[in-house]
Structures are given as structure tokens and as C-alpha cells.
Amino acid sequence: MESPLVFALILFTTFATATSMQKIHASENPLPVGSNVTLSCQDNVTIGAWLFDNDIIVLIFPGNTIIANNWIDKVSFNSTFSSLTISSVQLEDSGLWTLLAINSFRAQLTLSVQVPISGVTLRANATNLVEFNDTAVLTCSVLNGSSLSYVWLNGSSVVTAGGGVQLSDGGATLTMVRVTHYDEGPFRCNVSNGLSHESSLPVYLNVSYGPSNTMMGIMPMRSTYITGSNITLSCSADSSPPAMIQWMVDGVYLNHFGPHLQLETVAESNSGNYQCVFHNTVTLRFSSKSAMIRIMEPIAAVVVNHTDNGDYQCQAFNSVSNMTSSPYTVNVNYGPMKPVIAGQSMALTGTLETLNCSSASHPPSHISWYYNGSLVASTSNLVIGPLTLNMSGKYICMAFNNITGKNSTAYTMLTILNSLGYVYVEAPTNPAREGYSYKLTCNETGTVKHVYWMKNGEPLREDNTTVFSSDNKTVTFNPLKHNDTGHYQCVAINALWNLTSPPYMLLVNFGPKTPMIHGPAFAETGQYAVFHCSAMSMPPSQFSWWFNGSNVANSSVFTTDVLSLNMSGEITCMAYNNVTGKNVTKSKMLTVIEAIGSVMIRSNTVPINTENFTLTCDVTGPYDTMYWMKDNMHLNMTHSVAEPHMSYHIENNSLHFTPVTLHNEGTYQCVATNQAGPHKSPKYMLLVNYGPLSVKISLPYLTKHDLYVSLTCSADSRPDCDFHWFLNDESSAAVHMGSVITFLATNRGNYTCKATNPVTNITMYKTKDFTVAAHASALRFPSQAGLLMMGLFALSVPVLFN
Ligand SMILES: *[C@@H]1O[C@H](CO)[C@@H](O)[C@H](O)[C@H]1NC(C)=O
Ligand SMILES: *[C@@H]1O[C@H](CO)[C@@H](O)[C@H](O)[C@H]1NC(C)=O
Ligand SMILES: *[C@@H]1O[C@H](CO)[C@@H](O)[C@H](O)[C@H]1NC(C)=O
Ligand SMILES: *[C@@H]1O[C@H](CO)[C@@H](O)[C@H](O)[C@H]1NC(C)=O
Ligand SMILES: *[C@@H]1O[C@H](CO)[C@@H](O)[C@H](O)[C@H]1NC(C)=O
Ligand SMILES: *[C@@H]1O[C@H](CO)[C@@H](O)[C@H](O)[C@H]1NC(C)=O
Ligand SMILES: *[C@@H]1O[C@H](CO)[C@@H](O)[C@H](O)[C@H]1NC(C)=O
Ligand SMILES: *[C@@H]1O[C@H](CO)[C@@H](O)[C@H](O)[C@H]1NC(C)=O
Ligand SMILES: *[C@@H]1O[C@H](CO)[C@@H](O)[C@H](O)[C@H]1NC(C)=O
Ligand SMILES: *[C@@H]1O[C@H](CO)[C@@H](O)[C@H](O)[C@H]1NC(C)=O
Ligand SMILES: *[C@@H]1O[C@H](CO)[C@@H](O)[C@H](O)[C@H]1NC(C)=O
Ligand SMILES: *[C@@H]1O[C@H](CO)[C@@H](O)[C@H](O)[C@H]1NC(C)=O
């Protein structure tokens, strides 16, 4: 083998630079340790060699091959295709294999023999981490394998170095500095070589984070809430582990934890800045979120003002869209406001005058004009004329809004002046007030020689407060007195004519003077007291009342409540004149005293003529004095000379008659008086019982035909007497009771009447002797037949009495 080897060396040194490149094909590459591989080439080699990393493995020359001794067991050469088969390859067989064909080509292949990968494991030095604080170190270990390359996966994403991520140990270690919560995994390492690959089991990192992205939801969402609403506040945050939530209002912790806070039936005082405070007990971080909750009472009353006119639209929106309604036009009906009249206040005879009335109103008001109480126009323009002097006066405009139903009036004074020349009294526009200076001017046209003044039809005289100017055209009242009120005229005279101005009514505003209070100084409990206040004033004053410091009425009359003893006090009336701006007060004391309840006359006995009799006056409640009245006249304490027939005396509250007689009869009252006034008792009618004083028996005129006789007994007595009749014998039983006795005319005898007064118990008698002078026989027929016969006789029957 010496010679071919030498030969080959020569070959290599001589022809090492082959011309063209061919490819070597491996039956498998890369390939696992222990497997067989055949390297071949397309072209046949007749002279050449197989080399491995510049070591000759096989020498090829025509008809023979030589295999290096140390490779003889490991390779075989097939000359048919110049292929080389390596059996049971080892890692060290990796390298550059070359097939050299002398003077032809050189082909090469890098063979890679590898150990298949197995036993890939992944380990983290810590799995519970805090976001932004902690560093995670992941280590990938491989039990078997060669030529390892590492790919790191977080979920399905490949982890690359950069930022806080570092790969070291040839990619076997992944270091994540300051982990974020996106670094939770699952992490895998995928280890590969050309031959095989294997992934580790996943590793999860538990990265605690937050709280962050805090949110507060409010249901329902309003800018402002009506009282009584229920509101739910909900807080959330990104946090692991979940954050603990505590609530605060206006910086004060509530004893309330958890994501929801319910506000039920809220009041205005629940308004405030609501805050939820988040705390992650692992990251030890805090965060918060707040919202302002405004709560308002609903509006209790609203007034629509015509400034609210306009087009109204409502807009609804949510987080993704909004929409606006079409406009709705609001026209507030109002008015009429007080009309404004445009026009002259003076005009000349013969001309036309236009007055225009306008009033702010919606819808527009209907305008009417009135003059002297009559409707003169129903338009806003009133055209008057041609003017005559008697068209002066008050023109009233009334505006009426038929929707609001309201009306409003205004007037203007129009003075018509004679166009030939005119004169009128001009006065300041401010009201005339007593005590101030006031000036009337005589305004006239034409050439006037002289002017003089009239008041109430009489010439006005100058005095120390009424002064004329040198040309008489003005009269100045300084100061104005309230009796300067009156009708003023000025008269302008020249050679051709004289003109008298229309009367100018000067009304002097004055007062109020000190008011007068009419009302009681004393009043009784249980009553009302009524007070009237009056004060001289122009215009009339307005009145207000104060009772013990409180305003109690705003009219001229003040009626108290039902009085009680503690209501004594000071009553003040204030009169106020809104033109002079003055007010004057007057006070009066009211003393409430205990009421006299009742006053009654009582008598315990019946008044009997010539007997003693007493009337007693019973009064309930305290009183100051008491006196008696008879027939509306005061009864003197002692027996009056004017009434000589009366004998009485008054003692305490009793009126004693000693004795009572018919002269005492009359109407009696007793009167109890306190500071509030007299209280009269009801009338007591005193009628004295007496008699009988005399008894009479009478009978009507009788004819002889009368069959019956009636006797009537009467007595002067009070009360009426009881009457009893006796026939002939007073000691026998009475034959009749009552004032009239009727008997047959034949029953002659002595008829006695007994009259007894049931009260005085006095009795008197009277007797009549009754006889019939003639025709006693005829009167003996006590039958019906007899009565008929009596008619036939028709005789007169004289009756005798004594
Ligand atoms: C490799 O070749 C040898 C003999 O040349 C044979 O015994 C062996 O089974 C082969 N191995 C494989 C994996 O084919
Ligand atoms: C060489 O290769 C050819 C073609 O594949 C084959 O027929 C022959 O048997 C091989 N020779 C040896 C000694 O293996
Ligand atoms: C390659 O060359 C060898 C020896 O020179 C020869 O035996 C063989 O048949 C050739 N093969 C081909 C395919 O021509
Ligand atoms: C994990 O490794 C990192 C980097 O070496 C180190 O900072 C950290 O403290 C380690 N963690 C633990 C729990 O050992
Ligand atoms: C609020 O809640 C209370 C109690 O649950 C309920 O009585 C009330 O009607 C609610 N108010 C509103 C406006 O829903
Ligand atoms: C995180 O780091 C900050 C700043 O270095 C430190 O104040 C805080 O205590 C750390 N948090 C934890 C949970 O260690
Ligand atoms: C209407 O509104 C105007 C402007 O806001 C105000 O000046 C006026 O007083 C209001 N009138 C009434 C009656 O409320
Ligand atoms: C309503 O939507 C329009 C367009 O979508 C936008 O321009 C407008 O600002 C929105 N208005 C409100 C109040 O959100
Ligand atoms: C108000 O007056 C107008 C104009 O005269 C009339 O058309 C309308 O019907 C009236 N409305 C009412 C409610 O009377
Ligand atoms: C105008 O208003 C007054 C007071 O409200 C009312 O008494 C009167 O009848 C009204 N007149 C008309 C014409 O409506
Ligand atoms: C008189 O009236 C006329 C017309 O109104 C006016 O111009 C003039 O000033 C008045 N004169 C006086 C003295 O007031
Ligand atoms: C005005 O005259 C009256 C008498 O005519 C006199 O009593 C009074 O004091 C006078 N007043 C002044 C301010 O001169």
C-alpha cells in the first residue's frame, strides 16, 4: 500500500485545485448517533479520494480502492457509484466530508451527527411575583441532546430579548426584570437541534399587580339627583389579587367595604364627593376613584315668564350616539301689561288728535277706548276730532287679553285749547305736598295785557304764603297748606277778548295728622274689642296696627281675638300716607278685666199691697257699683221727694219696699257696672197684688119674656178673685162658682156673691135681693108648652131689685 499512498499524495499536491464543484448526497443528514449513512455523488470517480476534515479515508484509483486503516471497520466504499457508507456514526463523525476526483471535480458535505433531545424541563426561581418590583429567572434544562437551540414561548408568543428580558446561558436562561402582569405565562422552552425538538411543561408565574384602571360606575347616571332617589355606586379596578375596597365621603371613611355602595332615598345632605379606596394586600399598593354626587330638592313651584319663550329641543345621548328632537316652540301667554298711551296732552280746537294705545301681551290684547264712560273705539288708534273745547278730559284705554282673561287700563288727560288763543293752568308734574313750595303757571298765547287768578270761582288773594309773580303769571304757594286745595283758573285779558282757563284741580297731599283711636280702654274677658283708627290725610292713609309689639292688622279696623286677662296691653295704630311718605302713630292702652257674667233680678216673695217686699239683684262676676232703675230712670239711693208715695230703701244689692204699694208698680232693672261699662239686668215687671177693694153685682136689662136671669159679680182686685154664690143663706153651701150665675127667673131670693183674692186672701161679699113683680103664674110653666104660651101673652114683666 506504500506506492498508492505516495501516489495519492502526489495527486493531492499536484491537483488539489479541482475545476468544478459537485454535490454530495447523504442518505440522511443530520442523523442520529449510531445510524448508518451513505454519501454518494452523481458522477463516477475513477481516480480520487474520500476525505474527512483533510484526512484521507479512501483512495480511489482505477480498479482498486484503499481505505485508511483506522476507518476500515467503519466505512465501506462501493465503486459502482463511488459511494461511501459510514456505519454507526458518532458525534465525532460530524464534519466536512469531501470527494475528490482528480482533474475533474471536488464535492463536499458537512455531515452532522447529533444526540436526539429528551428530558427538557423548565424551572422558575420564584413564581409569586409583584408587578414592577420582582425579577423572574426561568431556567431550561435538557437531559439528552446536542447542538441545542432554545426558543421561549409565553403562551403562543415567542419571547425575544430586549427591554427587561434577557436570555443567557446560550438561551437556556430567561430573565425578566420587573415583571408585568403580561408575564404570567404559560412559559415553555422549546429546545431543538437539527434532528429533534422537545418542549418543556408549562410554567405559570403568579404576578400580583394593581390596583390600576380604577373605575366608578353610578346607576342611574345623572348630573344631579332628585331627593328620594336610590343610587348605586360600583367600583372596580384591575388588581390581582382582587383589591380590598373601602368607601369615603368627603374624605371621611365610611364603615363600608366592598365594590357596591347603595344610597337609598337620598336627601340633599347625602351630596358629596364619594370615593372608593382600593388596596392590594400583596402589592401593598393603594389607588382610589371618586365622583361627585349632587342631590337636590325638586322644585316646589315654577313660574313661567315670557322670557321663557323660544324653541325647545331635547337631546338624548349615550356613549355611542346622540339624537336631537325637532324644535318645539313655546309661547308663554302673558299680559296685558299696563298700556302705554302715545299722543299729545294738549291739542287745538279744529285739529285731529290721534292717541295710540299699546300693551305688551301675548297673544296681542284687544284694545278699547272709553271716554266719559262710553266705548269710543275698539282699535289701538283713537282718532278724535275735529276737536272742540268740550272734548277735553280723560281718555281711557283698556287692553284685554282673551287667553289670560286679564285686562289692564291706562288713561291720558287731553286738554283742548282754543286755537284762537288759549289759556290754561300749568302745574308741576310732581304731586302737591303740604309744607313744600308749589307753583302754578298761567300759560297763554296771544298778547295778554293782564292776568289774574281765581280759586273756586272767587278771585285769589295774595297773602304771606300765596305770592304772585310781578306779571301775575305764576302763583307760588310757599309753603303749601292743605286748605290750598281747590279749583284754580287764570284769566287772561287783552283788548279784544278775555279767556278763562279750564279749572285746574289742585289737590294738596298732606298728613297724616295724629290718628285717633276709637275703642274701649277696658274690655271684658271673653269679649272682642274693636278699635277704629282715623287720621286726616290726603290721599287717605293706610293703617297698620300693633298689639303688644306685633303687627296684627293692616286696615282701619282692628278686632282683637277673644280677650283673656293676660291680653292687656298697648295698641298702636300707624297711619301712612304713601304720597307724602309720612307716617304717624298713636297708642292706647287696653285693660282686660274680668267679665260680669250675668245680672238678674230676683224676689223671694209675692208683692202684696201694703206688705213689705224686696227685690234682689244677683250679679255673677266682680263689679264696681250697682244701681237700680225704674221705668228707665235712675232710682235714687234714698226715698225721693219727687216720689212721695214711694217708700223704699236700698241696702247692698237689695231694694226694699216698706211697704210695697201700687205706686211702686213699674219696670225695674238693676245695673252692675265695671270699668268696661254697665250691665243691665233683664226687665222685671213689678205688679202688686191687692184687693178685692170693692165688689159689684150687675145684670143685663130683662124683659118680662126672659125666662132666665144672669147675675155677674166683679171685684177690683189683682189677681182676679175667685167667686162663690149663695142663695139667701151665706152659711149654707155655695150654689155656684164663677163670676156669672144663671137661674130661672122664678127663683127669687137674696143672691150673695163672695169674692176672694187667692193671693191676698181677702174676701168681700155683696148681696142682691131678686124678686119678680108680675105674671108669676105665667112663669110657673116650666114646660115646653109653657114656653109657647109665653109668646102668646107677650106681656112685660117688671123686675124689681133692691
Ligand atoms: C449498519 O451496517 C451494519 C453492517 O454493515 C449492519 O450490521 C447494521 O445493522 C446497520 N445498521 C443500521 C441501523 O442499519
Ligand atoms: C454496489 O452498488 C451496486 C448498485 O447499488 C450494487 O448492486 C452492488 O451490490 C454493490 N456492491 C457491494 C460490494 O456492495
Ligand atoms: C465506474 O468505474 C468503475 C471502475 O472504473 C467501473 O467498474 C464501473 O462500472 C463504473 N460505473 C459506472 C456506472 O459507469
Ligand atoms: C430569582 O433570581 C433573581 C435573579 O438572580 C433574584 O433577584 C431573585 O431574588 C430570585 N428569587 C428568589 C425567590 O430566589
Ligand atoms: C328606593 O328604595 C326604597 C327601598 O328599597 C324604595 O322604597 C323606594 O321606592 C325606592 N325609591 C325609588 C325612587 O325608586
Ligand atoms: C416595590 O418597590 C418599591 C420601590 O422599590 C418599594 O417601595 C415597595 O415596597 C416594593 N413592593 C413590594 C411589595 O415589595
Ligand atoms: C321674567 O324674567 C326677567 C328676566 O329674567 C326678570 O327680570 C323678570 O323679573 C321676570 N318676571 C317675572 C314675573 O318673574
Ligand atoms: C353628537 O354627535 C355628533 C356627531 O356624531 C358630535 O359631533 C357631537 O359632538 C355630539 N354631541 C354630544 C353632545 O355628544
Ligand atoms: C281671542 O280673540 C281672537 C281674535 O278676536 C279670536 O280669534 C279668538 O277666537 C279668541 N279666543 C278666545 C279663546 O276667545
Ligand atoms: C277687567 O278686570 C277687572 C278686574 O280683574 C274685572 O272686574 C273686569 O270685569 C274686567 N273687564 C273686562 C271687560 O274684562
Ligand atoms: C306754554 O305752553 C307751550 C306749549 O306747550 C310751551 O312751549 C311753553 O313752554 C309753555 N310756557 C310756559 C311758560 O310754561
Ligand atoms: C302769615 O300771616 C298770618 C296772618 O295773616 C300770621 O299769623 C302768620 O304769622 C304769618 N306767617 C308768616 C310766615 O309770616
Strand partners, 425: 442
- For atom 3 of ligand 10, the residue with the nearest CA is 407
In the reported structure, the alpha carbon of residue 323 is separated from the centroid of ligand 8 by a whole-number distance in angstroms of 8
pLDDT at 791 over 50: no
Please name the residue whose Cα sits nearest to atom 2 of ligand 12. Answer: 464
Residue type, 169: D
The CATH classification number of 423-506 equals 2.60.40.10
What pLDDT does 90 receive? 92
Structural fold of domain 208-296: Immunoglobulin-like (2.60.40)
Which CATH architecture best describes the domain 118-204?
Sandwich (2.60)
pLDDT top residue among 306 and 51: 51
Q: What residues have CB less than 8 Å from 546, skipping those under 6 apart? A: 552, 571, 572, 574
Whole-number pLDDT of residue 309: 85
Report which residue type is found at 226. Answer: I
Given a cut of 70, is residue 737 above it in pLDDT?
yes
User: Which atom of ligand 6 has the smallest separation from the CA of 282?
Assistant: 13
pLDDT for residue 792:
35
Atom of ligand 11 nearest to the CA of 444: 1
Q: Could you tell me the pLDDT band of residue 14, with boundaries at 50, 70 and 90?
A: very low
**Average confidence (pLDDT) over 151-173:** 92
Class of domain 516-593: mainly beta
Of the candidates 458, 477, 480, the one whose C-alpha atom is nearest the C-alpha of residue 469 is 477
The ligand 12 site (C-beta within 6 Å) comprises 463-464
Give the closest residue (by CA) to ligand 3 atom 7.
80
State how far the Cα of 665 lies from the Cα of 656, in Å rounded to an integer.
13
Read off the pLDDT band of 639 (50, 70, 90). low
Q: Whose CA is nearest to atom 10 of ligand 8?
A: 322
Is 400 near ligand 10, meaning CB less than 6 Å away? yes
Q: How many residues does the chain have?
A: 802
**Quick one: which atom of ligand 3 is closest to the CA of 46?**
5
Q: How far is 124 from 269, CA to CA, in rounded Å?
A: 55
Confidence class for position 799, pLDDT limits 50, 70, 90:
very low
Q: Candidates 413, 416, 443, 474: which one to mutate for ligand 11, based on the most atoms within 8 Å of Cβ? A: 443
Look up residue 76 and give its amino acid: S
- Give the closest residue to 453 by CA, choosing from 509, 503, 392, 393: 503
- Ligand 4 center from residue 135 Cα (angstroms): 6
CA distances from 592 to 170, 332, 572 (A): 117, 56, 16
Residue 729 or 682, more confident: 682
Nearest to 166 by CA among 139, 131, 191: 139
Task: Give the residues across from 190 on adjacent strands.
Answer: 151, 199
Residue 640: what pLDDT? Answer: 57
The pLDDT value given to residue 194: 85
Q: What is the pLDDT of residue 16?
A: 47
Question: pLDDT tens digit string along 269-291?
Answer: 999 999 999 999 999 999 999 99
Whether residue 642 has pLDDT greater than 70: no
Distance from Cα 365 to the centre of ligand 9, integer Å: 10
Q: Residue range 231-245: average pLDDT?
A: 94
Report which secondary-structure segment, H or E, holds 12. Answer: helix 2-15
pTM equals 0.40
Ranges 84-88, 201-205, 413-417, 482-486: which has the least confidence: 413-417
Residue 101, C-beta contacts closer than 8 angstroms, at least 6 positions apart: 18, 22, 43, 45, 46, 47, 48, 107
Distance of CA 608 to the CA centre of its chain: 77
pLDDT, greater one: 250 or 700? 250
Report the CATH superfamily, name and number, of domain 695-771. Immunoglobulins (2.60.40.10)
**Relative to the alpha carbon of 78, which ligand is closest?**
2
Nearest to 322 by CA among 332, 314, 312: 314
Give one word for 588, left, alpha or beta, with left for phi > 0 and alpha for psi -120 to 50.
beta
Beta-sheet pairing, 353-358 with 423-426: unpaired
How buried is 385 (Cβ within 10 angstroms: 0-12 exposed, 13-18 middle, 19+ buried)?
Answer: middle
Least-confidence region, from 61-75, 121-135, 749-763, 781-795? 781-795
Residue 46 Cβ inside 6 Å of ligand 3? The answer reads yes
CATH superfamily membership of 598-686: Immunoglobulins (2.60.40.10)
- Domain residue spans in the chain? 4-114, 118-204, 208-296, 340-417, 423-506, 516-593, 598-686, 695-771
Is the domain spanning 340-417 CATH 3.40.50.20? The answer is no
Distance 76 CA to ligand 1 centre (A): 11
Cell output for 639 = 226715698
Mean pLDDT (the chain) is 87
- Say how far apart CA 543 and CA 533 lie, in whole Å: 7
> Which three cell numbers, joined as nine digits, stand for 134?
420582582
Assigned architecture for domain 4-114: Sandwich (2.60)
pLDDT digits (tens, 9 = 90+) for 70-101: 999 999 999 888 899 999 999 999 999 999 88
Which residues contact residue 540 at a Cβ distance below 8 angstroms, ignoring those fewer than 6 apart? none
Average pLDDT of the segment spanning 533-554: 94
Q: 510 - beta bridge partners?
A: 538
The answer to whether the beta carbons of residues 453 and 466 sit under 8 Å apart is no
- The whole-number pLDDT of residue 531 equals 96
Q: Is the CB of 135 under 6 A from ligand 11?
A: no
Question: Ligand 5 centre and the CA of 218: distance in Å?
Answer: 16
Distance CA 505, CA 292 (A): 69
Mutation pick for ligand 5 pocket among 232, 265, 266, 295 (CB with most ligand atoms within 8 Å): 265
Q: In this predicted model, what pLDDT tens digit does every residue of 382-402 receive, in sequence order? A: 999 898 888 989 999 999 999
- What confidence category does residue 495 fall into, taking pLDDT thresholds of 50, 70 and 90? low
pLDDT, position 63: 82
- Cβ–Cβ under 8 Å, residues 593 and 679: no
Strand pairing partners for 537? none
Ligand approaching nearest to the C-alpha of 462? 12
- CA pair distance 274, 50, nearest whole angstrom: 87
